[in-house]
Structures are given as C-alpha cells and as structure tokens.
Amino acid sequence: MALLGLESVLTTSRGFAMEKPNEDFRYLVRISNTDLDGNKKVVDSIKKIRGVGFAFANAVCSVAGIEKGRKTGNLNDEEVKKIEDVIVNAHSKLPEWILNRRRSIEDNSSKHLVSTDLSFAQENDIRQMQKIRSYRGIRHMAGAPVRGQRTRSNFRKNKGKVLGVVKSKAVAAHAKDAKDVKDKGKGKK
C-alpha cells in the first residue's frame, strides 16, 4: 500500500477501503457557521448546512478540488477555507442553474444563500407577498396551504378539533331534553 501512496487507507474485514484518521483529526469541523461531523464524508457533511443539497455539495467538492469520499475530520485548514470560499462565492464559480436564489427581486442578481441568510431571505419574501396582497401572501396570512393543496380532509390543525357525525336520534333526544328544561323553567314563575 505504501508504494501506491495509500498509506492513509485501511482495509476492513469485508474488504472495504476506509480512510485512517490522522493525528490532526477533528471530530467537529465548522463551515459556514455550522458544525459538521468529522466522521462523515465531505459530501455528506456539507449537506448538513442549510441551503446546501446533494447537487450543490458535489459541485462544491469538484470546484474546490477535494475528494468527495474523504472524511471531513481529515481536512486541513486550507481545504476548509477552500470549501467555504466556494460556498460563499458560488455565484462566480458555479453555473447559475445550481444556485438557490436566481435573479432576486431586490437587485436582479443570482446568488446562493446558506444558513441564516437563507432563512432571512425567505421571511422577507413572505412579508413582501403579504404586503402586496398576492394570493400566496393572503394564504400565508390565513395559515392555509399555499401551493394549491386540497383542504377538505387535510390541514386539520387550522380547523380545530374534529366533532364527528351526530346521529339524528341523539339530536332529537337532546332537543327534547332542552325543550323540557325550558318548559319547567316557565312553569315555576
């Protein structure tokens, strides 16, 4: 194995190759204000950042020149900075179709938002829709489903507790009892 340059690779009992943790192994790696698990592959751990999905994580690893199967804990500081730089400057390093905010309303630019920036932008978008009283904004205000789903049987949390079907005999008996109580009240006066 040393002849092939694979001295950091171990073989498990089933024959799978497994990367050996080095002396500088870190169990938590911080990228884009998110703590990532050092025991996972780089691609899988980058997906834990809010706003980064499968395709974007693969693209980040390819552009940064980092092997996707490496453990995140074995990355050095320089490689972590490369990954963070690609995520922050994704609009200039990756194609526009992979970004999550294309042609934004404010400045008509395309960018990729992650973590708290993404949450803030979503909240602002909803506020803007409510302000201009668009259909989606009105549905958000009402707490109703926004994307055209049926509401007859689903979304019960918005309607309250289910009462069920009341049988006609029970209704008639209840009405008779109420009438009797009313008649007794008149007779005492």
Q: Residue 7 maps to which CATH number?
A: 1.10.8.50
Residue 11 has pLDDT above 90, yes or no: no
Q: How far apart are CA 182 and CA 176, in angstroms?
A: 10
Asked whether residue 186 is domain-assigned, the answer is: no
pLDDT average, residue stretch 83-97: 89
Same-domain pairing of 17 and 72: yes
Mean pLDDT (the chain, rounded) = 80
Residue 98 has pLDDT above 50, yes or no: yes
User: Tens digits of per-residue pLDDT, 18-55?
Assistant: 666 667 888 888 888 888 888 889 999 999 999 899 99
Strands 17-19 and 9-11: antiparallel
Q: Which residues contact 107 (CB under 8 A, 6 or more apart)?
A: none
Asked whether residue 182 is domain-assigned, the answer is: no
Domain count within the chain: 2
Check residue 59 and report its DSSP letter: H
pLDDT for residue 60: 92
Same-domain pairing of 15 and 92: yes
Mark which of 98, 130, 162 sits at the end of a domain: 98
Strands 34-37 and 17-19: unpaired
User: Tens digits of per-residue pLDDT, 138-162?
Assistant: 988 888 888 888 877 777 766 666 6
pLDDT for residue 9: 56
Same-domain pairing of 87 and 25: yes
What pTM was estimated for this model as a whole?
A: 0.64
Same-domain pairing of 76 and 7: yes
Q: Residue 164 maps to which CATH number?
A: 4.10.910.10
- Domain of residue 77: give its range: 2-98
More confident site: 90 or 173: 90
Residue 8 has pLDDT above 80, yes or no: no
Token readout for 155 is: 């979304």
Asked whether residue 185 is domain-assigned, the answer is: no
Q: How far apart are CA 31 and CA 102, in angstroms?
A: 23
Q: How far apart are CA 170 and CA 176, in angstroms?
A: 10
pLDDT for residue 1: 46
Q: How far apart are CA 22 and CA 114, in angstroms?
A: 30
Same-domain pairing of 167 and 86: no
Same-domain pairing of 159 and 90: no
Q: Which residue has the tokens 């400045």?
A: 107
Q: How far apart are CA 144 and CA 152, in angstroms?
A: 12
